[in-house]
Amino acid sequence: MAEQTIICIGCPLGCHVTLKVDKDGEIEALTGNQCKEGREYVIAEFRAPVRVFTATVLTEAGGRLLAVRTDKPVHKGQLKELMAVVAKLRMAPPVKAGQVLVPNILGTGADLVASSSI
Amino acid sequence: MISQDIDVAVIGGGPAGLAAAIKVKEVGLDKVVIIERGEYLGGLLDQCIHNGFGLFYFNEDLTGPEYGRRFIEKANDLGVESLLKTMVVRLLPDRKIAISNDKGFTYLSPKAIILAMGCRERSRESLSIPGTRPAGIFTAGTAQRYVNIEGYIPGREVVVLGSGDVGMIMARRLTLEGVKVKAIVEVLPYVGGLIRNEVQCLHDFDIPILLQHTVTEIRGQERVEAVTIAKVDKDWNPIAGTERMIQCDTLLVSAGLIPENELSRMAGIALDPVTQGPVVDENMQSSAAGIFAAGNVVHVNDLVDNVSWEGEAAGASAAKFALGKAMVKKVRIRLKAGENIRYIVPQTIARGEEIVLSVRVKEPAEHVRLNVGELRSQGMRAVKPSEMVKVSLSSKEWEKMGSGVDELLVTCESRRG
Amino acid sequence: MGNLLETQVLIIGAGTTGTAIARELSKYKVDTILLESREDIGMGETKASHGFIYSGGLTAAGSLVMKSVMLPSGQTAFNPRSRKTQMEHESIKEFPSLAKEMEVGLSHDRRLMLARDEGDLKMLKVAERICGDMGTKITWLDREGILEREPWVTKDVIAGIADEGYQLSVYPWDWAIALAENARQNGLRLLLLTEVIGIKPLGRGFLIYTNRGSIRTEFIINAAGPYADKVAKMAGVCDFGLTCTRSQMVILDKRVNLLNQSVSLAPKPGKVRTLRKTISGNIQTICSEYYPVSDPEDTTTLMNWTDQSIAGAQEMIPSISKKDIITSYVGVRVFNTRDPEEDILEVSKGNPRFLNAAIRLPGVSVTPAAARHIVNLLGIQGLELATKTDFNPHRKRIPKVSELPDEERRKLIAQDPRYGHIVCRCEEVSEGEIVEAIRRGARTVAGVKYRTRAGMGRCQRGFCGPRVLEILARELDIPMRKVTQMGGLSRVLLYRSKDLLGSGGLT
């Protein structure tokens, strides 16, 4: 059985919530939260810690950068991989904000979309 | 150039200015001009490519550019005029302003003015950090511009001084761009910005946080080569013997924002020494009639959503003023900062007015009550200086106020039991 | 630069001394090269020097103690009849017209020396005697009189003395840049980034080896500041040594309006405390201790010097606070060990064609007379000095839009719209000024800063930084990443976005 601490980001308390996790990866016990929203957040964060990925993409030599984002949060472990993909992208204008640049990027289920326009 | 019969001039085209200008148009005024010194509208939003904007205003999780675009498109649709690459260089009595751009140097006399100039960052020099003065020292916001707008990475080994939100956001951003962020150095015993950023920018990327530390020396003749850090005591004084060097080629300084009120000073507008912004009333009007203010120029906000709401309040009031509608004279109540309160905005309100106060505490505390005189007591689980608190006063609450009282003491006290 | 250049006079060092001599020489039909090892003019001692121009007893009296503080320990020489003091007297009268000719900012200042106790009062009386000796007119002021001139001065003050008309102020880098521009207008050749690495005396002159090629010259003027001894050694004629001290100055926000002109506390051994209003309207503190330093490039600021600066300032104006600081910097002052009282302005004993011009502080103060003296010496040594009939003494400054009357400002913008685009908000500097600065030789952020003041304001390049970089890159036609802060290895931006992400992704 293992222990893991997750910090709840729901309110300025920032409770450090301790999870006791069994060998199958299931939560056995959860302590340290001060509200039920916090409990729900920590459980969700434990099961699938997700983040919205944002970055910039290079356009043609010297041109203005394009800001990009995933339209949905993705697993936080994939951020660096996503960055490696984005690093190789080169976009040429015109690109409209909201335009899908890479659908279902790296199989995450999220699209990489333009967050600004060029 | 621009026509002279301007109803409302908005100085600054960032989120505060945009929201204000839109509101003025919505109220029905025709000649609204945004005067923006930069190359585009949106202020800092374009360089804030991360998400977390609009959670409250739009109930959506938007990036800075996305949030900005909502307002820019609306402003364009409504016919708000804007002058880009135009600097207001003088703000004179009687609401006369002097502007300079490549078309010339002109005076304008709008019927009302909204100050929305935002903030500047505290520089290394103003912090008197000892050492050499090499290349490679940037304030976090300026570095953000280079990284996200111009597309340059300042260096490959970075130390960040200050754990405010901008510093943390940049720590993450740089790490994703392949930079080694060696440490966040924070003089307080706790992280300065939002917990969400502490987790998602620092913990997620294993960036060391050195609390109760500061940079005591910068080294490197032409380019930063290292910084010396030391532990500090409760008075922020470095403790001898705790110094150690961290090799780096870049120092990011994220040590605070200062509302940019040079124009306000020029016009003799009263400033609050704590917020460093204009003293405003519930209409966001400053001490000068017809000059309103909103956003970071009034006080440093955490959330852009609040900046937009302030902009709207200022816009609505400025429009009223420009239309010649008299501001009803009401009894003025001063808001006074009591226990564990740093400041309250607006600083004065009209008695009986339904209002939402923006309050900032001095120290973090848990299980507190936020009190506004005898009118309102709001229980809160936790408060932090970096997270502004909103307290509303309704007309029912005002009924509790005695007569002859012209001041409301706002306090943040521990709950008993 | 080609393989071998030839000239009649080679001036080594483009600080306030070298540029003054260059300008003086440019009045004659003499082929002259001004050599500077750094990226720009005045980037050595000059840029951190005070720019006080003074003569007269009160300053001599004040500097009596200043010198005891600044000189190598044990030396407290003071000679009101020194040649240096005479040169100060001679030169001060020339500055107003020189400033006008070359359109350089000059302010009229006056020294007000304060006493807070009996000890101070005694020092003021000493100063009064020295002034009498030198014929300097001074006025005694009581507390009321002092507070009338400077309402924010400490109420502890019991008396003060002031002289009128014996002190002026310039920005030394401004001065050096203007002199060099004017000299170039009149034929001077300027070589930057050129360092002397060897000197070979020839029959009638020298062969100079530099990092970029060789120069044959008939005469050398050694104005190399803290490296003057090294240069003299290269020519085999060094008969003096140099020592350096350094101290820290602090600049307060322009908005801190607590001082009208300069004030000093009565000199006390080991302590210098002066507050000065600069030409741009900032208060500058000259209150930290002086420390000997072996490396003239060591300009690190220190925490306790910052504290000393504020503490010293508060002794004169109590309302000054550390929060008012917008920047600090350290200046290095060079003295010669042969005679700390005098400048070394002479034909070297070892070689009649090698002249030394090693001037200690006050530097700018003596340069008009010193430059003439050097040119005289050149004449005596055989250089033919035929006066140019077409010497143009007028140099036009870069227009400063923030100081122009509205109509002129409009005209300028109509001619060149870039003068309407304000880039530095804090100092109200336009793109036009920055472009003109680059046209006149600025190649770095510092070069733009010293010529236009862009970046000298309270936000310290927070807003204008990226824009100045962009303009430099555009005007010099170089990539943004090649732009440097102050030359050499001081590139501002090291990488392009995504450069640090190899094909393998993040490390």
What's the mean pLDDT in C339-363? 91
Q: Are residues A34 and A84 in the same domain?
A: no
Question: What phi, psi does B412 have (nearest 5°)?
Answer: -130, 105
Q: Give per-residue pLDDT as tens, B58-90.
A: 999 999 999 999 999 999 999 999 999 999 999
Q: What is the pLDDT of residue B377?
A: 94
Token couple for B406: 């012209």
Residue A71 sits in which domain range?
54-114
Strand B365-372, strand B250-253: pairing: unpaired
Q: What's the 3-state SS for B325-365? A: CCCCCCCEEEEEECCCEEEEECCEEECCCCEEEEEEECCCE
Burial of C499 (0-12, 13-18, 19+ CB in 10 A): middle
Q: What is the pLDDT of residue C301?
A: 96
Contact of A87 with chain C, judged by CB distance below 8 Å, is answered with yes
- The domain C105-167+243-335 is placed in CATH, from the list 3.30.2130.30, 3.30.565.10, 3.30.9.10, 3.40.50.720, at 3.30.9.10
Q: Which residue of B has its CA nearest to A79?
A: B176
| Residue C126: C-alpha distances to residues C57, C411, C457 (Å) | 10, 55, 40
Contact criterion met (CB < 8 Å) for B176 and C328: no
User: Domain-by-domain residue ranges, chain C?
Assistant: 105-167+243-335, 401-482
Contact of A60 with chain C, judged by CB distance below 8 Å, is answered with no
Token couple for C292: 């000997």
Question: What phi, psi does C89 have (nearest 5°)?
Answer: -55, -45
Instruction: Identify any residues that bridge with C32 across adjacent strands, giving them in sequence order.
Output: C9
Segment among A23-32, A45-54, B131-140, B248-257 with least mean pLDDT: A23-32
Residue corresponding to tokens 């090629």: C213
The beta-carbon neighbor of C497 closest among A56, A80, A84 is A56
CB atoms within 10 A of CB C395: 20
Burial of A80 (0-12, 13-18, 19+ CB in 10 A): middle
Smallest CA–CA distance, residue A48 to chain B, in Å, is 14
Q: Does residue A4 register a pLDDT over 70? A: yes
Q: Does residue C506 register a pLDDT over 60? A: no
Smallest CA–CA distance, residue A8 to chain C, in Å, is 28
Q: Are residues A61 and A106 in the same domain?
A: yes
Q: Are residues A37 and A70 in the same domain?
A: no
∠ CA C468-C470-C474, nearest 5°, is 115
Segment among B263-272, C121-130, C304-313 with least mean pLDDT: C121-130
Contact criterion met (CB < 8 Å) for B152 and C409: no
What's the mean pLDDT in A34-51? 93
Contact of A44 with chain B, judged by CB distance below 8 Å, is answered with no
Q: Does residue C174 register a pLDDT over 70? A: yes
Half-sphere exposure of B119 (CA within 13 A, CB side): 24
Total domains in chain A come to 2
Which residues are CB-neighbours of C413 under 8 A, at least 6 positions away? Answer: B100, B102, B103, B104, B105, C401, C419, C420, C432
Q: Give per-residue pLDDT as tens, C85-114.
A: 889 888 999 999 999 999 999 998 877 999
Q: Establish, for the pair of chains B and C, how many residue pairs have beta carbons separated by less than 8 Å.
A: 160
C279 and C108 Cβ atoms separated by less than 8 Å:
no
A17 confidence band (pLDDT: 50, 70, 90): very high
Q: Are residues A23 and A38 in the same domain?
A: yes
Contact criterion met (CB < 8 Å) for A56 and B200: no
Question: CA C497 to CA A82: how far, in whole Å?
Answer: 15
Token couple for B328: 């009803």
Contact of C387 with chain B, judged by CB distance below 8 Å, is answered with no
Residues C38, C437, C459, B220: what is their CA dihedral angle, to the nearest 10 degrees?
A: -10
Segment among A49-58, A61-70, B154-163, C442-451 with least mean pLDDT: A61-70
Percentage, residues of chain C above pLDDT 70: 93
The beta-carbon neighbor of B249 closest among C300, C486, C494 is C494
Q: Does residue B7 register a pLDDT over 60? A: yes
Contact criterion met (CB < 8 Å) for B178 and C492: no
Q: Are residues A98 and A73 in the same domain?
A: yes
Residue corresponding to tokens 């002249």: C355
Q: What is the pLDDT of residue B310?
A: 97
Name which of C470, C493, C495, C498 to mutate to probe chain A: the one with the most chain A Cβ atoms within 10 A of its Cβ. Answer: C498
What's the mean pLDDT in B6-21? 98
Question: CA C419 to CA C405: how far, in whole Å?
Answer: 14
Q: Which DSSP symbol is given to C495?
A: E
Q: Which residue of C has its CA nearest to B180?
A: C507
Half-sphere exposure of C227 (CA within 13 A, CB side): 18
C6 and C216 Cβ atoms separated by less than 8 Å:
yes
C264 and C250 Cβ atoms separated by less than 8 Å:
no
Q: Which DSSP symbol is given to C26?
A: T
**Of the candidates C327, C338, C249, C242, which has an alpha carbon nearest to the alpha carbon of residue C292?**
C242
CA C360: distance to chain centroid? 12
| Residue B272: C-alpha distances to residues B97, B275, B336, C205 (Å) | 23, 6, 12, 69
**For the whole model, what pTM was predicted?**
0.95
- Domains of chain B (ranges; CATH) run 8-120+258-322 (3.50.50.60), 123-255 (3.50.50.60), 332-414 (no CATH)
Question: CA B302 to CA B15: how far, in whole Å?
Answer: 13
**Of the candidates B227, B224, B274, B127, which has an alpha carbon nearest to the alpha carbon of residue C458?**
B127
Decide: helix, strand or coil at residue C146: helix
Token couple for A116: 């600004």
Contact criterion met (CB < 8 Å) for C422 and B37: yes
Q: Give per-residue pLDDT as tens, C278-306.
A: 999 999 999 988 888 999 999 999 999 99
Contact criterion met (CB < 8 Å) for C458 and B265: no
Q: What stretches of C348-436 adopt beta strand conformation (E)?
A: 354-358, 422-424, 429-430
Q: What is the pLDDT of residue C70?
A: 57
Q: Does residue A64 register a pLDDT over 70? A: yes
Question: CA A75 to CA C453: how far, in whole Å?
Answer: 49
Q: What is the pLDDT of residue B2?
A: 54
Q: Give per-residue pLDDT as tens, C322-342.
A: 999 999 999 998 988 888 778
C272 confidence band (pLDDT: 50, 70, 90): confident
Q: Does residue B257 register a pLDDT over 50? A: yes
Third-level CATH fold of C401-482: Arc Repressor Mutant, subunit A (1.10.10)
Q: At C124, which helix (H) or strand (E)?
A: helix C118-134
Decide: helix, strand or coil at residue C354: strand
**Average pLDDT value over all residues in chain C:** 91
Q: What is the pLDDT of residue B1?
A: 42
**Average pLDDT value over all residues in chain B:** 95
B331 and B406 Cβ atoms separated by less than 8 Å:
yes
Q: What is the pLDDT of residue C152?
A: 97
Q: What is the pLDDT of residue C505?
A: 39
Q: Which residue has the higher pLDDT, C464 or C261?
A: C464
Estimate the share of chain C in helix, then strand, then coil, as percent rounded to the nearest 5: 35, 25, 40
Smallest CA–CA distance, residue C416 to chain B, in Å, is 8
B140 confidence band (pLDDT: 50, 70, 90): very high
B62 and C382 Cβ atoms separated by less than 8 Å:
no
Contact criterion met (CB < 8 Å) for B382 and A115: no
Which residues are CB-neighbours of B201 under 8 A, at least 6 positions away? Answer: B168, B169, B171, B172, B207
**Of the candidates C483, C504, A86, which has an alpha carbon nearest to the alpha carbon of residue B173?**
A86
Q: What is the pLDDT of residue C62?
A: 60
Q: Give per-residue pLDDT as tens, C36-77.
A: 999 999 999 999 999 988 776 666 666 665 555 555 555 544
A118 and A95 Cβ atoms separated by less than 8 Å:
yes
Q: At A75, which helix (H) or strand (E)?
A: strand A74-75
Decide: helix, strand or coil at residue C363: helix
Q: Are residues A17 and A34 in the same domain?
A: yes
Q: What is the pLDDT of residue C88?
A: 87
Q: Are residues A42 and A59 in the same domain?
A: no
The beta-carbon neighbor of A13 closest among B151, B200, B381 is B381
What's the mean pLDDT in A52-63? 88
Give the ipTM.
Answer: 0.95
Positive or negative torsion for Cα B114, B6, B12, B304:
positive
Burial of C416 (0-12, 13-18, 19+ CB in 10 A): middle
Contact of B178 with chain C, judged by CB distance below 8 Å, is answered with yes
Residues in chain C within 8 Å Cβ distance of B249: 494
Q: Give per-residue pLDDT as tens, B144-182.
A: 999 999 999 999 999 999 999 999 999 999 999 999 999
Where residue A109 sits, what CATH number does that domain have? Answer: 3.10.530.10
Q: Does residue C439 register a pLDDT over 90? A: yes
